[in-house]
Amino acid sequence: MCYWRQWRKPRTKIANLLKRGVPITAAIACGIASKGPWRNSKTPGIQMALSNQYLKEQGLISLRDGWIKVHYPKR
């Protein structure tokens, strides 16, 4: 969602999706969608471009993994 808000304009959104390997039809459909960023974050085009693996490579920490470490520590 934060990346989506950072890109701001539809033209920038489409260009960044295309850079990340999303097909042009999916990139355009996602880029011009008028839904909110949280709702758009679950669309197939954005899931392809900003996958959990990509975000992990960018250095972001998974909240799910942190929750599991806290609640289910290895003994």
Q: How far apart are CA 5 and CA 36, in angstroms?
A: 10
pTM over 0.85: no
Question: How many domains is the chain built from?
Answer: 1
How far CA 32 is from CA of 25, 28, 42, in Å, comes to 11, 6, 15
Q: What is the pLDDT of residue 2?
A: 86
Q: What is the pLDDT of residues 5-64, one digit of tens each?
A: 999 999 999 999 999 999 999 999 999 998 898 998 889 999 999 998 999 999 999 999
How far CA 62 is from CA of 12, 27, 34, 59, 67, in Å, comes to 26, 25, 28, 10, 9
Residue 38: which domain range?
2-71
Q: What is the pLDDT of residue 28?
A: 95
